[in-house]
Chain A
């Protein structure tokens, strides 16, 4: 299948190499035939219905193709095409929805989950997807060898299921057993876990073919991420199958002709890595890719003007201004309130985030259970900020402001700009700011999370699934260098809320905690920047998901 779509390079390069030595000569040459008219010279490929090849650019290569050993977004992006879990998400939300499990029931004590499975589903290698396969997966996870329990391999299983059959955290393990029956799998938990079903929607809990695992995977290998299975034989039930992963180049998937659901319209789907947002935009404009993730805020308008489609995800993240109370005078609530009143969040969002960004009043987005309208809000009021600062006797004190360089995260698209605007606002309200920046990898995080030597800082989080603890617990679950405060009341409240057996009971508890936090004001929630993707005009059918549960089987491309 050889589609040399871009014959125009030939023209361009030929002209360039022969005709022009200087810029002027090039500029004078005829431009005819170039441009973005990719339609006329489209290639020879005309396989099945729809068909075609789509090239999609992410920001990095996947680490591994076995999602059990992955925790990065790019590995998950590929995994979501090849694999499916028992549970998916409702389109456009973070709420769990049936996928390989048609339905499920939960026992009274919230310890037994019975999953009714889709029938007639097969893995790519022909193995039947049945209750035995489900339990084989649960048992594989639970029985991961100690060498594979390291958080750089099995972060999600380890942190959500709290422990494995062996190893230091075996006593804390949530999972107990899985019993297969005709068409149903029954999972027993050792202790209640309200977020269990939600957690199963993560790609780390994808169903993988037991026979392929048996043949090609070795969980006990020194590097289970580089085994035959993890690089060349990932086998799931999804609409795409692996064609080839060429490291440093691309991951090529092909449509699964026997998919049990809506079959992919594309013949093949290629993922490439381009790490700079601007470079991804350039590649799209130049026809080298058909779509990409993580559009830089500055590129949105130009892309739209040039006729490309911008697709926004509902933000499932939070950008905040952290405050380190281990440093004086930041332990004074009045100083923290002064900071809050000094910041014009709208201006901050306008200056450094894409259009459509929502402002934040608490430390989680509104899609998460436990979000509430009723929290203390701190409106922009520089005069009040100045008064509070004076009251605290802190006018003119120098505050160190930490921000990262060399990074763009979905929740923090342009940290330098964000820093710059907030800095001006704080200075206008009477603060003296000492800027400190560190490279994101790994100096910034090491300093913020690993040492007490920082003042106020920019940081954030993208949620994994619908669970308040996945936000609040991560930030405020225990005393940490990042925040530098000791608030027993808050720590206990979060512990108790996490242990509640059902989501229904958790919701009011987390609503109360959100208010408790905003009153205590450990930091300033700033915004939920909207993550955007961009596509060529001929692409349609892409369904954005706040938790990036995006499968390309519905996507079509006009060549």
Chain B
């Protein structure tokens, strides 16, 4: 087990190294240069040349890369060209926001998706099943940002029930330790801050969670339906075990495996969806920041953030693999 984990982590090194080369080449292959983006309308050839020199973009690429790699090894991901802020620092500010949003979305998707999928499977072929299944397809077919705009319109603009933007009310004087605002509020016992941060997650979480919800509901239904047809469930039924016990003991446990895979895979997709959701709700997360970084050709931010994301993605996959083992002894890793 431990050896497996260590081996997987060791395998990440070459992948990340390769990725750093690719990223380095990729961001520099983008047309346009950061100096001009930085100076905007005020740019002129002389000022562009001076800024380019300041950031060393005029040096040979190999030299630039080696310097970048050298810093990387010491844990220095460089600083943003736009703000001068260190990439690590800005990642630690933005990443928790997006994770919080993604977790809210996943929570919604899981809490609603699994029971709904389970119910549908239990009612296979009956109206409830049809409704759930077509509803889930409609969920998948609606563009995220369209849904986000609709939700915002109804619950924020018309009903004024929920906030439209940001992560927390600016009038609340909250202490932020981890930048997970809900967690911060709980840790510091600033209950109103925690509550307010949670309320700010509702609409973006619903918008972002709808597609995973639909997918999770479908997968749950399919795999529960399959398990229900398995011999051991039938045996259990014929032995006269109560439905409830069968569900707990056999069905859910066996059916959850593909669901966990799905949740793991959703993590990557959620990030893409987060860009759109964050834009609609002015939620200061990583997606929006990265999108702006592409526009500004903020090389260090692009490289650093995507490396971080790739690392986290790899770790999530590892966790998913480990979770298999916990749920299904048959695939316990060796």
Tell me the bound Cα distance from A461 to B160 in angstroms. Answer: 38
- Interface: B2 (CB within 8 A): no
What 13 additional pairs, Cβ within 8 angstroms, besides A12-B155, A150-B50, A252-B173?
A: A8-B160, A8-B161, A9-B163, A10-B195, A43-B171, A64-B84, A152-B39, A275-B288, A282-B156, A282-B157, A286-B157, A288-B169, A289-B170
B296 smallest CB distance to A (angstroms): 6
Contacts of B296 in A (CB 8 A): 441-442
Tell me the bound Cα distance from A63 to B84 in angstroms. Answer: 8
Give chain B's interface residues, CB within 8 Å of chain A. Answer: 31-44, 47, 50-51, 54, 79, 82-86, 89-90, 93-94, 97, 112, 152, 154-157, 159-173, 176, 179, 190, 192, 195-196, 198-199, 202, 279-282, 284, 288-289, 292, 295-297
A540 smallest CB distance to B (angstroms): 19
Contacts of A223 in B (CB 8 A): 79, 84-85
**Segment with Cβ contacts to B, from A15-23, A86-94, A193-201, A501-509:** A15-23
Tell me the bound Cα distance from A441 to B47 in angstroms. Answer: 17
Residue of A nearest to B289 (CB): A248
Tell me the bound Cα distance from A461 to B43 in angstroms. Answer: 12
- Interface: A26 (CB within 8 A): yes
- Interface: A180 (CB within 8 A): no
A84 smallest CB distance to B (angstroms): 24
Residue of A nearest to B151 (CB): A23
Instruction: Say yes or no: A249-B284 contact (C-beta < 8 A), given A442-B295, A445-B40.
Output: yes
- Interface: A50 (CB within 8 A): no
Q: Do residues B155 and A446 form an inter-chain contact, with CB atoms below 8 A?
A: no
Q: Do residues B157 and A285 form an inter-chain contact, with CB atoms below 8 A?
A: yes
A509 smallest CB distance to B (angstroms): 23
Q: Contact check: which of B41, B44, B51, B166 meets A274 at CB < 8 Å?
A: B166
**Closest 5 pairs between A and B when the two form their complex, measured CB to CB:** A12-B161, A442-B37, A441-B295, A223-B84, A151-B47
Contacts of B280 in A (CB 8 A): 279
Within 8 A of B (CB), among A62-76: 63-64, 71
Contacts of A13 in B (CB 8 A): 161-162, 198-199, 202
Q: Do residues B172 and A4 form an inter-chain contact, with CB atoms below 8 A?
A: yes
Within 8 A of B (CB), among A437-493: 439-443, 445-446, 449-450, 459, 461
Tell me the bound Cα distance from A428 to B277 in angstroms. Answer: 40
Tell me the bound Cα distance from A459 to B42 in angstroms. Answer: 12
Residue of A nearest to B85 (CB): A226
- Interface: A283 (CB within 8 A): yes
Residue of B nearest to A226 (CB): B84
Tell me the bound Cα distance from A406 to B94 in angstroms. Answer: 22
B254 smallest CB distance to A (angstroms): 28
Q: Contact check: which of A270, A450, A459 meets B171 at CB < 8 Å?
A: A270
Tell me the bound Cα distance from A36 to B167 in angstroms. Answer: 20
Tell me the bound Cα distance from A525 to B160 in angstroms. Answer: 42
- Interface: A337 (CB within 8 A): no
Instruction: Say yes or no: A249-B164 contact (C-beta < 8 A), given A152-B51, A226-B84, A446-B31.
Output: no
Contacts of B284 in A (CB 8 A): 248-249, 273
Q: Do residues A53 and B171 form an inter-chain contact, with CB atoms below 8 A?
A: yes
Instruction: Say yes or no: A288-B295 contact (C-beta < 8 A), given A2-B172, A247-B85.
Output: no
Tell me the bound Cα distance from A556 to B104 in angstroms. Answer: 38
